[in-house]
Amino acid sequence: MSEISTVKVIRCIVCPTGCEIKAIKNPNNEITFEGYTCNRGLEYATQEFYEPKRILTTTIRVENGFLPLIPVRTDKPILKDKLNEALMIIAQTVVNAPVKMGDILIKDLLNSGANVIASRDLGKA
């Protein structure tokens, strides 16, 4: 195909204006973006088009804790496509109380370079 075509429409979430940014393929197969109104919007659209990433926030089971679960997050965004795999690993993990906020509970999740860290302190039961 050698025509200009829109390959993806991205709704920008950087601010409440919510621009619709189009990823457009030109005849030379190069991708350009249209519809953004600021540089942060362009950055967001570029990231979202080539390599969408998300911070994963969930919980991990705790033994002997004041509560049965500890809330956790990845310390960096991970690939959106890897979220399900990551959740399966986290679901199989159990940690022991006490836990401190920032403690690394899973190191280098799926070789992503991101660690799963505790979001709060959790004392013993």
Partner 1 sequence: MKSYKADVLVIGAGAAGLAAAIEVKKSDLKVLIIERAKELGGITLQCIHNGFGLKEFEEELTGPEYAQRFINQVNDLKIPYILDTMVIEITKDKKIYAVNNKEGLIEVSAKAIILAMGCRERTRGAINIPGFRPSGIYTAGQAQRFVNIEGYLPGHTYVILGSGDIGMIMARRLTWEGCNVKAVVEIQPYVSGLLRNQVQCLEDYDIPLITSYTVTKIHGRDRLQGVSIAKVTKDYDRIIGSERFIECDTLLLSVGLIPENELTLQAGATLSQNGGPMVDNNLETTIDGIFACGNVLQVHDLVDMVTSEAKRAGKNVIDYIQYRYDKPVKKEEKIKCIPGENINYLKPDLVNKSDIESNIIFNFRVKYPDRRVIIQFKDEKNKVIYTRKKVYVIPSEMIELALNLKEIGVETTIKEIRIEVIPRPEVLIEED
| CB-count exposure of residue 92 (10 Å: 0-12, 13-18, 19+) | exposed
Strand partners, 8: 23
Instruction: Calculate the CA 88 to chain-centre distance.
Output: 15
Of 27-35, 70-78, 106-114, which segment contacts partner 1 by CB under 8 A?
Answer: 70-78
- Binding-site size, partner 1 (CB under 8 A): 25
**What is the rounded distance in angstroms from the CA atom of residue 99 to the CA atom of residue 66?**
10
Which of the ranges 26-34, 49-57, 105-113 carries the binding residues for partner 1, by CB under 8 A?
49-57
Distance, CA of 70 to CA of 60 (rounded, Å): 5
27 binds partner 1, rule: CB under 8 A: no
Q: Which of 87, 89, 104, 125 binds partner 1 (CB under 8 A)?
A: 87
Question: How is residue 60 written in tokens?
Answer: 């991990």
Of 4, 7, 13, 104, the residue at the interface with partner 1 (CB under 8 A) is 13
Q: Footprint of partner 1 on this chain (CB under 8 A)?
A: 11, 13, 16-18, 54-55, 57-59, 61, 66-69, 71-73, 80, 83, 87, 101, 119-121
